């Protein structure tokens, strides 16, 4: 659980990161550990492939959205 | 502790900076455990994630309930196939294991937490002024 708390701090770091740091990752899934973006990909499959090579231990995974407003998805 | 607060995630958009409510969930994967940051979407009936996460946590994507996802565009080519599975995840802030249905989309879906399963367990206060969300466990509070 301690490790998970450390990764949560990585999320806080991401939120406070400056524009130029984030800009190149827009629209990508990213894996963060110790305030560093270790891997990024436009697909989750690609991100997992990179993580499987790196074997970094627990990471925080999220998607940095494109600079657009989010709208709904309908399920049928 | 039966509640916790989580700061909103800052993101840039075409209209300026927005702050989005997020929550972190820990998943057991075949190669270890990873933490995922989901956007809390009170308007979504069900949670959403990409298909690869289902496979990563050992689910057979095809065995889930079949569903089609579409957005604003009515065009058939703008739809995605999805499967709904019930999954377990840990809320690290409370060391609480949660079971909730998630729609795993066959495409690059955002990570969203919808109401079903999650809002049954928590009373959720979206505090836009303070840019934070307060999650209070329902059952723990009643006990």
DSSP state of A17: -
Strand duo B32-40 + B22-29: pairing: antiparallel
Q: Do A15 and B10 touch (CB under 8 A)?
A: yes
Express each pLDDT in A7-20 by its tens digit. 999 999 999 887 77
**Where along chain A do its domains lie?**
2-64
**The pLDDT value given to residue A31:** 97
- Using alpha carbons, select from B9, B103, B100 the residue that is nearest to residue B50: B103
Phi then psi dihedrals of residue A45, to 5 deg: -60, -45
Region A8-33 average pLDDT: 90
**The pLDDT value given to residue B105:** 94
Question: Out of A15, A44, A76, whose CB is closest to B9?
Answer: A15
CATH architecture of B3-142: Beta Barrel (2.40)
User: Alpha-carbon distance B97 to B89, whole Å?
Assistant: 6
Q: What sign has the CA pseudo-torsion B124, B130, B132, B137? A: negative
Question: Out of A4, A45, A70, whose CB is closest to B35?
Answer: A4
**The pLDDT value given to residue B73:** 72
Express each pLDDT in B6-41 by its tens digit. 999 998 777 788 899 999 999 999 889 999 999 999
**The pLDDT value given to residue A76:** 63
In B39-98, the residues whose Cβ lies within 8 Å of chain A are 39, 43-46, 48, 50-53, 56, 67-72, 82, 90, 92-93, 95
Express each pLDDT in B54-93 by its tens digit. 999 999 999 999 998 877 677 777 788 999 999 999 999 9
Q: ipTM score here?
A: 0.91
The reported pTM is 0.92
**The pLDDT value given to residue A74:** 65
């Amino acid at each position: 659980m301690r490790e998970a708390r450390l990764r949560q701090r990585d999320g806080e770091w991401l939120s406070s990161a400056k524009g130029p740091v984030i800009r190149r990752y827009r629209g990508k899934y990213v894996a963060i550990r110790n305030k560093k973006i270790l891997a990024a990909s436009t697909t989750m499959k690609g991100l997992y492939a990179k993580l499987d090579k790196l074997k970094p231990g627990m990471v925080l995974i999220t998607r940095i959205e494109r600079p657009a407003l989010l709208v709904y998805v309908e399920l049928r | 502790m039966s509640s916790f607060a989580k700061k909103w995630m800052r993101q840039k958009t075409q209209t300026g900076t927005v702050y989005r409510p997020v929550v972190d969930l820990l998943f057991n994967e075949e190669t270890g455990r990873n933490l995922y940051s989901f956007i809390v979407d009170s308007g979504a009936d069900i949670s959403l994630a990409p298909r690869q996460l289902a496979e990563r946590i050992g689910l057979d994507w095809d065995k889930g309930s079949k569903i089609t996802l579409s957005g604003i565009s009515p065009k058939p080519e703008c739809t995605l196939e999805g499967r709904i599975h019930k999954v377990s995840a840990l809320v690290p802030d409370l060391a609480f294991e949660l079971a909730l249905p998630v729609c795993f989309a066959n495409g690059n879906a955002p990570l969203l937490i919808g109401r079903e399963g999650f809002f049954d367990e928590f009373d959720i206060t979206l505090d836009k002024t303070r840019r934070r969300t307060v999650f209070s466990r329902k059952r723990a509070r009643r006990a």
